[in-house]
A and B are shown apart, each in its own frame.
Chain A
Amino acid sequence: MTRFSIVLLVALVLSGLYLVKTSYESRRLFVELERAKAEEAQLTADAKRLDAERRTEATHLKVERTARDKLAMRLASPEVTVYVSDSRASGASR
């Protein structure tokens, strides 16, 4: 009986220690997961912000102003445009 109790006691202590270890581990992993999630949110937000910034820098108004003022470009008018009809489209319908 006593021996059995000792075995149980040892088992109890071991399982207790194991519980401490796993709960520590789970908290550590949880914190890591949280950090990763926060990072993900931050990166998503950054991507959005940068996307918006990129669009702001590349609006048609801005591009045209830069092309005209800085690069001295002109809009292509139909008289200097050569239109090539796409024979693939007409070929497919044939």
Chain B
Amino acid sequence: MSWLKRNTPAGNHSVRGVNYSTSPLLASKTPPSRSRLLVMLVGVGFVALAGRALYVQVIESDFFQKKGEERYASTMQLPASRGRIVDRNGQILAISVNAPTISMNPQQFKAADDQKRALVSLLRMPLKEFDAKLSDGGAYTVLRRQIDDGVAQQIRALKVKGVTLEPGYIRRYPENEAAAHVVGFTDVEDRGQEGIELTFQRQLQGQGGSRGVVKDRLGRVVEELGEPVDPRDGRDVQLTIDSKVQALAYQRIRDAVQQHKAKAGSVVVLDAQSGEILALANYPSYLPGERRNLTGAQLRNRAITDVFEPGSTVKPFIASLVLEKGLVKPTTVMDTHPFKVGPLLVNDGSHGHDSMTMAQVIQKSSNVGTVKLAQKLENREMGEMLASLGFGAKPQIGFPGAATGRLRPWKTWKPVEKATMSYGYGLSASLLQIARAYTAIARDGELAPLTLIKGEAALPGVRVFEPETARTMRELLRGTVSADGTAPLAQPLGYSAGGKTGTAEKQEGRGYNSDKHRAWFTGIAPIDNPRVVVAVMVDEPSGVYFGGLVAAPVFKTVVEQTLRTMGVQPDLEIKAPVLTAKPALAPAMPVAVAQLNDASPIKARN
């Protein structure tokens, strides 16, 4: 107080109080209790402040820290994109592209007339509908979901107030209906629902990341907080499918189904050597991008999920086993008069003969001959052979809904069942299983493992027949596509082929419906050096219904075009001569190779 007193020269005026001014008017006497009260109030104030500080800084510090951070920091979600599905050559079968959702806050919406018109036309929305949404009164309304990114950029460029873009993805399927059953599709939340999209959901799905940021008044990011968690994009899946073969197989089966006014059809193309699935096409199909009003019939991957009695396509396997056991030779003449097995009369209908060689039994697809062959086999031998060909076992291709088919254990077979089974009734398989079984003949007796995913470690093949047997059988199968065989229409132009037709009345309930048929053909080409196994099935063709007339022509065109696509040279004589490069050019070639690659052994030899 000494400095106060210094300012008051007339300090000793007052006796009991403090002099605040020299002005006599203000020189009132103040009771000391007042100043004490004041000091006390200030003191209490300080205590309260200190208490509050203690509460904020020490006791509830975490809570306030968090609340504070919320005011300036925000977390941005970093979306991860779903992996692609590509074919064996890297062509895209499925890809995720940006497709933002356009939303609007009607309360903040502000746009000039021309801006509004431009917006409405970009949204492809009637003006009335837009106005209805605008007058809705709410604070948020979605204008359009999953809009094309190009259009979204134009909308962003309009800079209309109250209209915002939210990030989103849409799945695109460039091959559309041709590969729909294999690739499958995803739902709105980008989860796989069918096909490969479903099977490889975990691999395809990415993992979103996040980052803490500080945003300024305009919502721009101005600072990063802490380490961001990077999003991890989904991994790609490469299939063994060749999109070119797939497209042409689809096209051919579609044309055939439409031509024969059939219910459905499927084609399977396998690489005869590796067992890789080159094409797997079904008709009817669907557009994966437009899935409204889809029916189960369209969605079904028939080649894999539908089983039927393989009929005559089983005959070559029975014959192979008999050949392998040395019980008959292709030239052995057999009595093929109709005969009875238990209650069943085995006959070849109108195309029966009194006697046939074993080769003719295959060529003409004789039931009588085949049953006679099967009777030379033990139940166990035949049953184990069919099982090792993959009948009655689920194909290991990791595809949802792959059918197992049915093959009853050989111990329970009755003679009549064995007889019907030898020509393909009483057991069932999918088209894929039948095609796979034929790789055993195509690969010199070794059944190929099926693969749909490129680079997946293939299981070793299973030996079913000796190479010699398989080669002989291929020669016999060649007979079915000859002019005398059951399927001359299956003979491809320029390529040797062999196969087996199948025609059956469809099973309905406990019996067969003689009005509904299923026709199929399974074959190998080129027959001497097999490259592909093709299986074709047409369901309920109207009019002609024989496999040799309905399915065989599809086999022919698919083989011709697939082998041409694969660059396989024709092995049959065709009108134009096959040329080789002029001999004069040949010596120059090794030199050219040597120049390209210095380390080549050719140069070392030179």
Query: Is A81 an interface residue when CB atoms closer than 8 A count as contact?
Result: yes
For the complex formed, measure the closest distance between the CB of A75 and the CB atoms of chain B, giving whole angstroms.
7
Q: Could you tell me the distance in whole angstroms from the C-beta of A87 to the nearest C-beta in chain B?
A: 4
CB-CB under 8 A from A48, the residues of chain B are 81, 95-98
A34 to B495, CA, bound (A): 61
Q: Interface 1/0s, chain A 71-87, versus B by CB < 8 A?
A: 00001111111111111
Please report the C-alpha to C-alpha distance between residue A15 and residue B545 in the assembled complex, in whole angstroms. 93
Interface size in chain A (residues, C-beta < 8 A):
33
Contact with A along B518-538 (1 / 0, CB 8 A): 000000000000000000000
Contact present for B149 and A46 (CB under 8 Å): yes
Interface centre among A78, A79, A92 (most CB of B within 10 A): A78
A59 B176 Cβ-Cβ under 8 A: yes
Give a binary string over B168-187; 1 marks a CB under 8 Å from any A CB, 0 the rest: 00001011101000000000
Q: How large is the interface on B (under 10, 10 to 19, 20 to 34, 35 or more residues)?
A: 35 or more
Please state if B576 and A81 are interface contacts (CB–CB under 8 Å): yes
B592 at the interface (CB under 8 A from A): yes
Which residues of chain A (22-46) have a CB below 8 Å from chain B? Answer: 27, 30-31, 34, 45-46
Closest to B96 in A: A48
Query: B95 contacts which of A52, A88, A94 (Cβ < 8 Å)?
Result: A52
Since A81-B576, A86-B581 are in contact, a sample of 11 more A-B pairs with Cβ atoms closer than 8 Å, ordered by chain A residue number, is A30-B222, A45-B97, A45-B98, A45-B149, A48-B98, A61-B247, A80-B576, A83-B570, A88-B589, A91-B586, A94-B590
Q: How far is the CA of A8 from the CA of B494 in the complex (A)?
A: 96
Q: What chain B residues lie within 8 Å of A31 (beta carbons)?
A: 220-222
Judged by a CB distance under 8 angstroms, whether A21 is at the interface is: no
Question: What are the residues of chain A within 8 A of B564 when measuring CB–CB?
Answer: 76, 78, 81
Q: Is B95 in contact with A60, judged by CB distance below 8 angstroms?
A: no
Chain B residues near A61 (CB-CB < 8 A): 175-176, 178, 247, 250-251
Q: Does B224 contact A (CB under 8 A)?
A: yes
**Chain B residue at minimal CB-CB distance from A37:** B221
Residues of chain B within 8 A of A79, CB atoms compared = 493-494, 574-576
Assess whether B560 is interfacial by the CB under 8 Å rule. yes
Contact residues of A: prevailing secondary structure: helix
CB distance from B185 to the nearest CB of A (A): 15
Is the CB–CB distance between B569 and A59 below 8 Å?
no
Looking at the assembled complex, report how far the CB atom of A56 sits from the nearest CB atom of chain B, in whole angstroms. Answer: 4
Instruction: Check B370 for interface membership: any CB of A closer than 8 A.
Output: no
- Asked if residues B494 and A84 are in contact (CB atoms below 8 Å), the reply is no
Of B150, B244, B574, which is within 8 A of A60 by CB? Answer: B244
A87 touches B493 (CB 8 A): no
> Which of B493, B579, B590, B593 contacts A82, CB < 8 Å?
B579
Residues of A near B98 (CB, < 8 A) are 45, 48-49
User: What residues of chain A lie closer than 8 Å to B560, measured between beta carbons?
Assistant: 77-78
Residue contact B178 to A59, C-beta cutoff 8 Å: yes
Contact of B97 with A30 in the complex, beta carbons under 8 Å: no
Q: How far is the CA of A44 from the CA of B223 in the complex (A)?
A: 24
A71 vs chain B, min Cβ distance (A): 17
- Asked whether A55 lies within 8 Å of B97 as measured between CB atoms, the reply is no
| From A30, A46, A78, contact of B574 by CB (8 A) | A78
Residues from chain A with Cβ under 8 Å of B592 in the complex: 88
Known contacts A55-B92, A55-B174, A60 near B590 by CB under 8 Å: no
List CB contacts (< 8 Å) of B537-560 with chain A: 560
Report A-chain residues with C-beta under 8 Å of the C-beta of B95. 48, 51-52
- Interface residues in B310-327 by Cβ distance below 8 A to A read none
Residue of A nearest to B171 (CB): A52
- Tell me which of B178, B220, B561, B586 contacts A75 (CB under 8 A): B561
Determine which of A49, A64, A78, A83 lies in contact with B97 in the assembled complex, contact meaning CB atoms within 8 Å.
A49
Instruction: Check if B580 is an interface residue, CB within 8 A of chain A.
Output: yes
Residue of B nearest to A52 (CB): B172
B578 within 8 A of A: yes
For residues 383 through 418 of chain B, which have their beta carbon under 8 Å from a beta carbon of chain A? none
Residues of chain A within 8 A (CB-CB) of B120 are none
| 27 CB < 8 A contacts A-B | A30-B221, A48-B81, A48-B98, A51-B95, A52-B97, A56-B176, A59-B247, A60-B243, A61-B176, A61-B250, A61-B251, A75-B561, A76-B564, A78-B564, A79-B493, A79-B494, A79-B576, A81-B576, A82-B577, A82-B578, A83-B578, A87-B581, A87-B585, A91-B586, A91-B593, A92-B590, A94-B590
